[in-house]
Structure formats: structure tokens, C-alpha cells
């Protein structure tokens, strides 16, 4: 049975839950504040890294697990790092586009 991590969108509390077949994950509530507004944490390994650390800890060519590719916050990390290394400012429009993609990866099809 998988263990999922959920983050409370009200207080930011993290809850790990062993999901059984009989349990509806929609029925979760935060054990800290009682809020029902929980969202699934996709990649617990990288989740708590601020974007700056994410960028500096990114190593091109290093083998990554599936979670890395599922985590939309890692979109464009490579491009961002290459530009930074080359001393090129990608500009606000580029950054805004990345932010949009990271928060809603389905936009890649819309934009
Ligand atoms: Zn909470």
C-alpha cells in the first residue's frame, strides 16, 4: 500500500498517510488544524527545497528518479541554469512563462 504525503493548504502541515483501498483520500483532514483542504505532495524528496536551492542543487547529466520529472517545479531548471552560467538574464517574460508552466504544466499545450 502506498504512503502518500499531503500538505495542508491552510497551515502548511505535512501529513503522511498510508492509503488503503477502503479509505477515500478525499476524506483527509489536517492533523494540526483540522482543515479538509489537503493537497497531495508529488515529490516528497524535493518538495521542501526553495526554488533557489533547487536550481543550485541541480546537476545536469545526473540520473534522476521519476519524482523529479513529475515535479513540475523542476520544469525549465536546466535552461535556467545554463542561462545563469552564461551570465544571460532570461528576462521577466521568460521567468513568468516558467512560473506559469511550473504551477500549471498543462499550459504547455495551451500557450
Ligand atoms: Zn492544517
- Give the Å distance between the CA of 2 and the centre of ligand 1: 22
Residue 90: C-alpha distances to residues 29, 37, 46, 105 (Å):
41, 36, 24, 20
- Give the Å distance between the CA of 29 and the centre of ligand 1: 8
What pLDDT is attached to residue 26?
Answer: 65
> Scanning the structure block, which residue is given the C-alpha cell 545526473?
62
pTM for this entry:
0.40
- Give the Å distance between the CA of 84 and the centre of ligand 1: 37
Domain boundaries, the chain: 3-41, 51-105
Task: Give the helix/strand (H/E) hosting 38.
Answer: strand 38-41
What pLDDT is attached to residue 42?
Answer: 67
- Give the Å distance between the CA of 12 and the centre of ligand 1: 6
8 A C-beta contact, residue 1 and residue 18: yes
Q: How far apart are CA 4 and CA 35, in angstroms?
A: 17
Instruction: Kindly tell me if the per-residue pLDDT of 1 is higher than 60.
Output: no
83 φ, ψ (degrees, to nearest 5)? -65, -40
pLDDT 10s digits, 49-81:
667 777 777 777 777 777 777 777 777 888 888
Amino acid at each position: 500500500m502506498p504512503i502518500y504525503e499531503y500538505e495542508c493548504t491552510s497551515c502548511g502541515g505535512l501529513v503522511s498517510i498510508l492509503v488503503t483501498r477502503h479509505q477515500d483520500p478525499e476524506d483527509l483532514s489536517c492533523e494540526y488544524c483540522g482543515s479538509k483542504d489537503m493537497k497531495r505532495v508529488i515529490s516528497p524528496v524535493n518538495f521542501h527545497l526553495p526554488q533557489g536551492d533547487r536550481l543550485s542543487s541541480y546537476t545536469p547529466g545526473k540520473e534522476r528518479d521519476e519524482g523529479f520529472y513529475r515535479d513540475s517545479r523542476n520544469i525549465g531548471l536546466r535552461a535556467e541554469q545554463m542561462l545563469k552560467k552564461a551570465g544571460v538574464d532570461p528576462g521577466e517574460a521568460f521567468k513568468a512563462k516558467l512560473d506559469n508552466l511550473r504551477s500549471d504544466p498543462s499550459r504547455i499545450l495551451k500557450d
